[in-house]
Structure 1
Amino acid sequence: MFHTRPTSSVLIRSAGLSYFPIAFIARLPFAMMTVGVLTLVVAERGSVTLGGLNSAVAGIGTAIAGPLLGAAADRFGQRRVLVPVGLVNAALLGAFPFVVASTAANATLLALSVLIGASAPQIAPMSRTRLMAIIRRSVRQDRREKVLNGTMAYESAADEMVFIVGPFLVGLLAVAIAPWVAIAGASALTFVFVTAFALHPTGRLHPGTEHSATSQAPARELFRFRLLTVVVGTLGVGIFFGATLTSLTGFLAVDGDGDSAGLLYGVMGIGSAVLALGTAALPERFTLTARWLAFGSLLLAAAIGYAFARSGTGLVVALAVLGCGIGPTLVTLYSLGATLSPAGRSATTMTMLNSAVVVGQAVASAVTGVVVDRLGVTTALAAPALAAALVVASAAAYALSQPRAATQPERDPEPVPA
């Protein structure tokens, strides 16, 4: 069973009280980036297609460069990577509003979006790596598994909250002031808090070598059917995120309210946050497989309601219910990924899941933007339901792949180093 916060005062004392708020805020620019780019381009250039493409290439840039930045941090240390990367990303974000407002060609805009995504600091995996190092160094052997599980759950909850707060801030700033303010704010947050995270004393810690002696499963184990169904499920979640945000932006843009998309998108985050954190209170007999099927089905039902919504009120209600399905589904998928991770391949497994979400969101943003412009917003509103159907289908495939799993307890996930 997961806990939603670190369970050891030793961990908190070792990391320092300032670490957790700094690490949380340092993640915000990443969550604001995709929504902010989409909102600003739609507002300035008047094309949902172009906005979706810019959002998509930013996500693809992150998915491609993210593992490379992680490998560089393992080799040279987090500080040597995060400081220059954070400064470059802050500068690119700061320049983006000026380029969008200029007469620069769309190709130039797309190239800049790729660079913004590629230079996005990978705070979440870096934070996990640091906390893992602290646990191995400071926590007794007999308590490490419990503290580790609680810490990983906290990290997942922090990621979930950031992806709620980020789009909400974008919408709030766009409506209250102007769309460019959100990107400028992300630039400032990157400059201040990513730098603070990089220079925090925990940045000197290294993961250690305890797991180096662990026998590593062959790479082919990563392509087992059950694990691949989980990857497909997270891909569906990513497609759902991209399709929902872009279709919502297109729907609101019809009445000139596209700037408020992030604000309404935050409504989905309310139920998502509450239910995601509430999964810790679910009984163990409510297995991960059953949760995936149950909350995935709720997501699909709400997405069908979203597809038929034709008013702002209908969208708000549908988004609120969607949040109740997507939060627990995403937490369950990451828990299953950790459970099914081959020996010594936890980091690779987590990277596969994270990349699936990012790529799904990026591709869906681009495709849904084209659908909005060519087929209309009514058609685009059905896209999240297709994504939710993929999530449910992969859940069914997972459940049917090993019928005995319904009567066997799912093992505790192995430690995730990054």
Structure 2
Amino acid sequence: MASAVSSTTPPPAQRAGYRHLLRTPGAWTFLLPGFAARQPFAMLTISIVLLLRHTTGSYGLAGAVAAVTGVSMALFAPQSGKLADRHGQSAVLVPGVLLHAAAAALLTALALAHAPLWALIAAAVPTGASVPQVGPMVRARWAAALGDGAVGDGAPGGSGPRSGRHPLLATAAAFESVTDELTFVIGPVLATGLSTGVHPASGLIAEAALTLVGGLLFAAQRRTAPPLGAARADTRKRPASALSVPGVRVLAVAFLGVGSVFGGMQVALTAFAQEHGQPGLNGVLYGVFAAGNMLAGVACGAIAWRTSPRRRLLTSYAALTLVCATLWAVPAPLPLGGLGLLAGLCIAPALITGYTLVEALVPATSRTEAFTWLTGSVALGQAAAVTAAGQLADGFGASAAFTVPLVGTAPALLTVVSLRARITPRGVSTAVRHEQPTADTHNGSLQTADTA
């Protein structure tokens, strides 16, 4: 691993950028299969909703089954992350992706056979529980490839980020955030297009296939996996659970609200398109919403921020809540698409800064688990929102379903504002320098900027 670090450390005169990051030895061997294997998180819920809406005719029932999947994912994801930290990623991924493919195939067969609700729910539990947590695993691999010891892993009670941080770690964080947003651009649009244009079950089938192939290929890249020896030697720094860190709990609440936007928008946009007699419009509207996420994600890695991540989180979350407060009143597709774009533009900064803060709040030995608590929170919020939005869409129409994102983000915003001191790492004041990659318009590389 030492050779990888030395070979990827930029010379003093060179700016640490995406181009240099992607030259990290072995990076592409886990990036490409990892991208395929992380699609389930973005495809699963909407695929289930579209399939069961077709077979049952009810958004409420479809939302309930999708919610069980999301809750199961949220409950099991942190345990998967903890096991990966302790026993290795391949040991968790291989049986996980096999189980997920089998469970998703069973759920598809039961839905097409018009099985009773209890059977659908029984199949939804293992389907959600086995979703691979590839995004957190990729982040852990970047840290290992670039020198885990240099990561700013200020444990609770510790001294915060270290000054010897590898210059490409901030670039890797921005790159992964953009990749997450790209997943939410491609995944739901792909699932919607397949389910509405090919067959109602094809979205869920494609999700299972991507999980299986991508997950096995990712697990096979053992040379880039975080070394277990270092993690075990650092056990004394590991908290009993990453959720025991107060800042992680605050961020988990924030990510619950973000999940409510994803889930509420998926169901509400589907109902909106149906009410207007244009089912295919759902994919377009959600694509605009997801494109906002992607554009904002790219911008967050290209702007020379002069504010702290905590302030950016508060600002973007307040803006997201404001946009969500207006969704229910929009009667036409064009203005709804504009508001969806604005909502997407607000989500990406909130997610990116949340993940950035986690890296400084927990030690490296618990980082995968901490990331999975956040992704699990998104899944849990998404599950609750899908259920609520489905019931509201059935009973009162799409406008009522659009109130769900506001109900999720408003209390989360109040929580984050009132407990904002918890998301500042101990020993790090809000005026401490924070490394953030910024774009160089001349050569496409990045440079480091200080933020207050």
- Scaled to the shorter chain, the TM-score interval is 0.7 to 0.9
| Offset of residue 75 of structure 1 | 5.0
**2:264 is matched by which residue type in structure 1?**
A
Q: Which structure shows the bigger proportion of residues in helix conformation?
A: 1
| Offset of residue 204 of structure 1 | 6.2
Distance in 1 of aligned mates of 2:149 and 2:310: 34
Superposition pairs for residues 4-403 of structure 1, below 5 Å? 5=18, 7-8=20-21, 11=24, 13-15=25-27, 17-74=28-85, 76-136=87-147, 145-202=166-223, 206-209=227-230, 212-213=233-234, 216=237, 227-255=248-276, 257-258=278-279, 260-341=281-362, 345-399=366-420
**1:243 is matched by which residue type in structure 2?**
G
Distance in 1 of aligned mates of 2:90 and 2:381: 30
Question: How many equivalent residue pairs?
Answer: 409
| Offset of residue 291 of structure 1 | 1.6
TM-score (ref. length: structure 2): 0.79
Distance in 2 of aligned mates of 1:359 and 1:341: 22
Cα pair 1:35 1:262 within 8 Å, conserved: no
State which drifts further: 294-303 or 72-81. 72-81
Distance in 1 of aligned mates of 2:307 and 2:225: 41
Relative to structure 1, is the Cα distance of residues 146 and 119 closer, same or farther in structure 2, using a 3 angstrom cutoff? Answer: same
| Offset of residue 162 of structure 1 | 0.8
Relative to structure 1, is the Cα distance of residues 298 and 85 closer, same or farther in structure 2, using a 3 angstrom cutoff? Answer: same
Distance in 1 of aligned mates of 2:163 and 2:313: 31
Relative to structure 1, is the Cα distance of residues 20 and 318 closer, same or farther in structure 2, using a 3 angstrom cutoff? Answer: same
State which drifts further: 393-402 or 294-303. 393-402
**1:145 is matched by which residue type in structure 2?**
H
Q: Secondary structure at the match of 1:209?
A: helix
| Offset of residue 5 of structure 1 | 4.1
| Offset of residue 119 of structure 1 | 1.7
Cα pair 2:144 2:224 within 8 Å, conserved: no
**2:379 is matched by which residue type in structure 1?**
V
Cα pair 2:234 2:365 within 8 Å, conserved: no
**2:99 is matched by which residue type in structure 1?**
V
Distance in 1 of aligned mates of 2:338 and 2:379: 26
| Offset of residue 86 of structure 1 | 1.6
| Offset of residue 297 of structure 1 | 2.7
Cα pair 1:239 1:361 within 8 Å, conserved: yes
Distance in 2 of aligned mates of 1:217 and 1:26: 28
Cα pair 1:7 1:151 within 8 Å, conserved: no
Cα pair 1:42 1:51 within 8 Å, conserved: yes
Relative to structure 1, is the Cα distance of residues 131 and 345 closer, same or farther in structure 2, using a 3 angstrom cutoff? Answer: closer
Distance in 2 of aligned mates of 1:38 and 1:290: 36
**2:125 is matched by which residue type in structure 1?**
V
Relative to structure 1, is the Cα distance of residues 343 and 215 closer, same or farther in structure 2, using a 3 angstrom cutoff? Answer: farther
Distance in 1 of aligned mates of 2:435 and 2:403: 37
Q: Secondary structure at the match of 1:121?
A: coil
Cα pair 1:4 1:154 within 8 Å, conserved: no
| Offset of residue 323 of structure 1 | 1.0
- Across the aligned residues of Structure 1 and Structure 2, the Cα RMSD in angstroms comes to 3.4
Instruction: Please name the residue that 2:159 is paired with.
Output: none
| Offset of residue 318 of structure 1 | 1.4
Distance in 2 of aligned mates of 1:85 and 1:224: 27
Cα pair 2:74 2:376 within 8 Å, conserved: yes
State which drifts further: 246-255 or 234-243. 246-255
**2:432 is matched by which residue type in structure 1?**
P
| Offset of residue 325 of structure 1 | 1.0
**2:321 is matched by which residue type in structure 1?**
L
State which drifts further: 250-259 or 170-179. 250-259
State which drifts further: 22-31 or 259-268. 259-268
Cα pair 1:172 1:262 within 8 Å, conserved: yes
| Offset of residue 347 of structure 1 | 4.2
Relative to structure 1, is the Cα distance of residues 358 and 31 closer, same or farther in structure 2, using a 3 angstrom cutoff? Answer: same
Distance in 1 of aligned mates of 2:395 and 2:277: 18
Instruction: Please name the residue that 1:416 is paired with.
Output: none
Cα pair 1:43 1:258 within 8 Å, conserved: no
Cα pair 1:7 1:150 within 8 Å, conserved: no
Between the aligned residues of both structures, percent identity stands at 29
**2:179 is matched by which residue type in structure 1?**
A
Cα pair 1:307 1:385 within 8 Å, conserved: no
1:408 counterpart = 2:431: yes
| Offset of residue 49 of structure 1 | 0.7
TM-score (ref. length: structure 1): 0.85
